Amino acid sequence: MAEDFWLNPWLLVMALATSMVAALGIFMLPEERHGLRTTLNLGAAALKLVLVIVMVWGVFQGLEYQLSFTMLPGIEFELKADSLSMMFAGLSSVLWLLTTAYAVGYLENSPNRSRFFGFFSLCVASTTGIALAGNLFTFFLFYEMLTLSTYPLVVHRGTAKALKAGRSYIIYTLSGGAVFLLGMAWLYAETGTLDFAPGGVVEGEPTPVLAAIFVLLVAGLGVKAALFPLHGWLPQAMVAPAPVSALLHAVAVVKAGAFGIVRVISDVFGMGFANEAGLLLPLAGLAAFTILFGSVRALFQQDLKRRLAYSTISQVSYIILGICLAGPLGMVGGLVHLLHQGIMKITLFFCAGNYAETLGVHRIDELDGAGPRMPATSVAFTIGAFGMIGTPPLAGFITKWTLGLGSLEAELPWVVAVLLASSILNAAYFLPIVHRLWFRARSDAWPEEVRWGRLETLSWLLWPPVLTAVAVVLIGVFAAVPFSPLSWAELVVNREYRP
C-alpha cells in the first residue's frame, strides 16, 4: 500500500496541477480578495513543495515516476520524474514559495494583482512542467507556455518602457521557440523519436544533418539561457517588478534554457555522441566567451538590477560550460551551479528589490550607507555577492572548484583560466557595491524612503532574502551531506551517466 503511494504517477500531475489550479483560482477571484488570494497562493506553493519532497525521496530510493498518453500519432505527452528533473523541480518549488511570499509584500497596494499572481502561478506551473517533461515534445510544450505566461509579468507595469521590454522579450523567445521547433521536427524526422534516455537516443555516425539539428536546438534554447549573442532581451526585461526579475533569472526562464541544453546534450544526443561529433567544444567556447562578456558588461552598469542581469548572463553559462566539458566532474559542476546560481541570484534580486522598495534606491552610486540602514538585507546581499565571486566556503566556491577539477579532467586547462578571470571580474563588479553598502557614509536623504514599523523593511520582504542567504552558506558548508545540491548532482551523474 505504502509502496503504491510512493509510486503513484499521479504525484506528477498533482505537482503540476497545484500551481495550475492556483492560477485558475486566482484569475477567478475578484481583485479585492487579497487575503484569500495570498492564502491560496502560499498554500499551493507549500503543497507543491511537499509533493516534490515526496517525489525526491522516491527518486532517491530508486523509483521512477512516469505518466504518458498519446497526443498525436506517434507523439506522446509524457511526464517523468528522474533525478535530473527532481533537481530542477526542487529548485523551482522551493524558490516559488519564497518568491510568492516576497511578491505578496512587494506588490502590496499596487493594481492588477489578480492578473499578476495568476500568471505568476502559471509561470511556475510551466517550470514544473519543463522539469518533469519526459520527452522533448512535452518539454517544448511547457517551454512555450513559459514564454507566454512570463510576458504579462514583464509588461506588468504597463509603461512604455515595460511594453518595449516585453516586445523584445517576446521577439527573442518566440523566435527561439520557432528555431527549436524546427530542430525538433527535423530530429523526429531523422530519428523517429523524441524521448529522453540516459546516454541519448541518437545513434549511428555523426552526420552534418545531426549537427545542424543540434545547432538549431541549442540556438533555440540559448535564447532563454541568454547565451551570447542571444542575450539581448535579458537586461531590458529588468523593468519588471523585482520578484519577476528574481523568478526570470534565478528559477524560471534562464534556467529553463540551461536545463533544456543539459537535457539535449545528455539525454537526446548523449554526451559521448555529442563530444565525438565535435559539437561540445565550440559550445564550450561560446559559453566561456559569454561568461567573460557578461562579466565585462556588468562592470559598466550603474543600475543595480542591470548589473545583476549581466551577471546572470555570465553565470548561467557556467552551467553550459560544465556540461560541455563532457566529463563526470564537469557535469557535476554544471548541474550543481543550476541550483547554486539560482539561490545566490535570487538573494541578490530580493535585496535589490528591498533597496528599491524601502529606500527608493535603483542606482549603485545611491547605495552609500545602506548597510547600517538595512543591516539584514545588506548582510544577505554581501553573502550572495561573495558566493557569486566564489569565496570559500560559500556555494559559488563549490561550483567553481568542481568545474575547475572537471576542466582538468577533460584536459582543457584554458577553462581554468576562464574561471579565474571570471572570478576576478566578479569581484570587480561586486566588491564596489559591498564597499558602498558598508564603508561609505550617507550624506543626504534617501530618494524615497518608506518606514515599515520596527523592522528595517516589511517582514514579507525581509525574510525571503535572509533565508536564501542562510541557504547559500549552508549548501556551501554542508556540500557533502546527502540531499545537498552537490550530492544530488553527483547522484544524477552517477545514476544516469555512469551506469
Binding site for other proteins (CB under 8 A): 27, 70-73, 75, 77, 111-112, 114-115, 140-141, 144-145, 147-148, 151-152, 155-159, 163, 166-167, 170, 174-175, 177-179, 181-182, 185-186, 188-189
| CB of residue 155 to other proteins, shortest distance in Å | 5
In the complex, least distance from residue 392 CB atom to other proteins, rounded to whole angstroms: 44
Residue type at 472? V
Closer residue to other proteins (CB): 77 or 401:
77
Rounded CA gap, 74 and 11, in Å? 25
Distance of closest approach, residue 413 Cβ to other proteins, in angstroms: 41
Where does residue 102 rank: exposed (0-12), middle (13-18), buried (19+ CB within 10 A)? buried
73 or 499: CB nearest other proteins: 73
- In DSSP terms, 77 is beta-bridged to 69
CB-side neighbour CA atoms (13 Å) of 120:
35
Task: For the CB of residue 433, give the shortest distance to other proteins in the complex, in Å.
Answer: 32
User: Nearer Cβ to other proteins, position 190 or 409?
Assistant: 190
CA distances from 307 to 9, 310, 380, 432 (A): 42, 5, 17, 12
For residues 75 and 417, which CB has a smaller minimum distance to other proteins in the complex?
A: 75
The least CB distance from residue 189 to other proteins, in Å, is: 4
Least CB distance to other proteins at residue 352 (A): 24
Looking at the Cβ atoms of 181 and 405, the one nearer to other proteins is 181
Quote the Cα angle for 257-262-264, to 5°.
90
Task: Quote the CA–CA distance of 404 and 394 in Å, as a whole number.
Answer: 16
**Least distance (Å) from other proteins to the CB of residue 453?**
30
| Contacts of residue 236, Cβ cutoff 8 Å, sequence gap at least 6 | 164, 165, 168, 169
Residue 46 or 145 having the CB closest to other proteins: 145
> Which residues, 6+ apart, have CB-to-CB distance to 348 below 8 Å?
308, 311, 381, 384, 385, 388
Q: What is the DSSP letter of 266?
A: I
Cβ distance 207 to 278 under 8 Å? no
Question: Which CB sits closer to other proteins, 186 or 446?
Answer: 186
Contacts of 424 (CB under 8 A, 6+ apart): none
